[in-house]
Amino acid sequence: MEAWNKQLEAPESMHASKRLDRGAFFTTTERTERLIATLRAEGVEQAAFFAVPGFIAEPGKVDGSAHIAAYAAAGHVIANHTWDHPRLSDISANEFVQSIAQAESWLKGKTGYRPWFRFPYLDQAYFQPAKSRKVSAYLRKVGLADAWVTVDGLDWAIEAHTLRAAKRHERMDLSALRANYVSTMVHAAEFYDELALSLIGRSPAHVMLLHEADVTVICLSDLIRALRGRGWAIITADEAYADPLYHALPLGPAKDFCGFHSYPTNCPSQAPMGHPLSNAPTVFELMAWAAGRQGTNRYPGIGQ
């Protein structure tokens, strides 16, 4: 097995916070304790949690700063996901930068802090060049690296269906839920690794997007074991983002990828309707688009 082959950063959280203290099954405290215990039991040294401090500090809600500190105390790392999780495409660059700065003030200096930034919804306003460049310039100025994602199994959709069923008091088969979740996430990992091999000729240190959610608590142990059973090695976030790939990627509008890695220089001005690039692209969906392979994505019915 090659040195870079099938490495996966420890499953990490996009939202290290919840708007409501209780999900379908667990309180915030229970969720945090169980995630930490699972990661420890499965020998996962370090995961990265991207915090949304404005959600944590909502008036009238449970103060979530303690559970962020608990993740850090357990050896995990924390990073910036904006103050209030706005979509860049929907607001001005100045408003977005303010949200980044407010979150950075809250996070910087805390145990486990890393100078990384994850765009909410993975939305970098790829087809709004002036806005995208302004935010990118700000990130470079303050020393925040783009925390790219290479594997997205849409775990939030499974969580949404689970919460809906719980609110309706529907009977749930947790064994079937685990099987579906694990199958979906493993398939995503394998799909994106094959896409990476076709685009850059190697398996990078992948970064899998997961959310701090009840389904993650229920399924994480099974997912880690399934991935390892398929030959994946779970590495730390620090190791993953040390991969040269993440330092070479353009930070800015989609057209900056045109010509990248010997791709064509005549990229389309827009992504096809419904294509991941028009919403929440991973690194390799973005690369596939730049390489002229707009139909290369794992979402049924999208693309060519």
Convert the pLDDT of each residue in 233-264 to its tens digit: 999 999 999 999 999 888 777 777 765 655 55
pLDDT tens-digit series, residues 181-234: 999 999 999 999 999 999 899 999 999 999 999 999 999 999 999 999 999 999
Measure the CA–CA gap between 288 and 277, rounded to whole angstroms: 10
Query: Which residue type, as a one-letter code, is found at position 260?
Result: F
Q: What is the DSSP string of 45-105?
A: ---EEEE-HHHHT-TTSPP-HHHHHHHHHTT-EEEE--SS---GGGS-HHHHHHHHHHHHH
Average pLDDT per run of 10 along the chain, which is 304 residues long? 46 42 74 96 97 76 78 97 95 98 96 97 88 95 96 92 89 92 96 93 96 94 97 96 92 71 56 53 82 55 30
User: Hey, what CATH topology would domain 7-290 get?
Assistant: TIM Barrel (3.20.20)
Sign, CA torsion 154/149/121/112: positive
With a CB cutoff of 8 Å and minimum separation 6, the contacts of 2 are 202, 203
Would you state the pLDDT for residue 166? 87
Closest alpha carbon to 155 in 119, 180, 122, 120: 180
Q: For the chain, which residues make up each domain, given as ranges?
A: 7-290
Closest CA to 209 of 256, 155, 248, 163: 155
* pLDDT score at 126: 83
- The model's pTM: 0.87
Please state at what angle helix 174-200 crosses helix 214-229, rounded to 10 degrees.
60
